[in-house]
Amino acid sequence: MKLFLDTADIDSIRRAGATGLLDGVTTNPSHVAKAGRVFEEVIEEICSLVPDHVSVEAVADSTEGLVTEARRLVSIGRQVVIKIPMSRDGLRAVPILEREHRIRTNVTMVFSPTQALLAMKAGASFVSIVLSRLENVAIESDRLIDDTMTIKRQYGFASEIIAGSLKTQPTLLYCLRAGVDIATIPEDLFNLLFQHPLTEMGLAQFARDWAQVRKRQ
């Protein structure tokens, strides 16, 4: 599974990137607004830190507008992947961008297996299921993940499935078991993946024992 950080915070991206374990970054208008900076400058700086995948939202009300905005955004960096809304106009824009302009797309705001099917049929490079929003309204996400991955395997779609904005390790673990391609997570969850109380206890014991060994030398 690839791990993406879900943020526009430059310091968070630097810290996670320094581990060598970060595969990409996803942003959205809310994340960029929190940065309090010029949009293009934020995306350009993220691209300077992330070598392969930076998902950036295209905001427009029509297929033509989405295509125009996408072409503008990819000029910021070759890493830019265009987030496209799960809508009729959005899915019409996907094959235009993917086939005619060779621009990778990430269809987002997907909340059902049938929406995921349509996004995959349209030819999106990535399909984002935003699990945190489902869980916020007490809808279980495991069935959606299972059904989406079954559809992908059954019909041989090439789209990579993104489990978006995960908040807990149990949800991430379920996505791992289901074979989800990518998870987007906040920095605090990324940091938690390194931790376990038994690891900390074991390392502390090794340190104490090593101190005793050194005393005898």
Annotated active-site residue 83? The verdict is yes
Task: Pick the catalytic residue from 2, 83, 121, 167.
Answer: 83
User: 163, 184 in Cβ contact below 8 A?
Assistant: yes
Q: Phi, psi (5° rounding) for residue 111?
A: -130, 10
Q: Which helix (H) or strand (E) holds 79?
A: none
Burial of 190 (0-12, 13-18, 19+ CB in 10 A): buried
Q: How far apart are CA 65 and CA 217, in angstroms?
A: 73
Q: Which residues contact 110 (CB under 8 A, 6 or more apart)?
A: 86, 116, 119, 127, 128, 129, 130
Q: How far apart are CA 195 and CA 13, in angstroms?
A: 19
Residue the block writes with tokens 């959606």: 144
Active site residues: 83
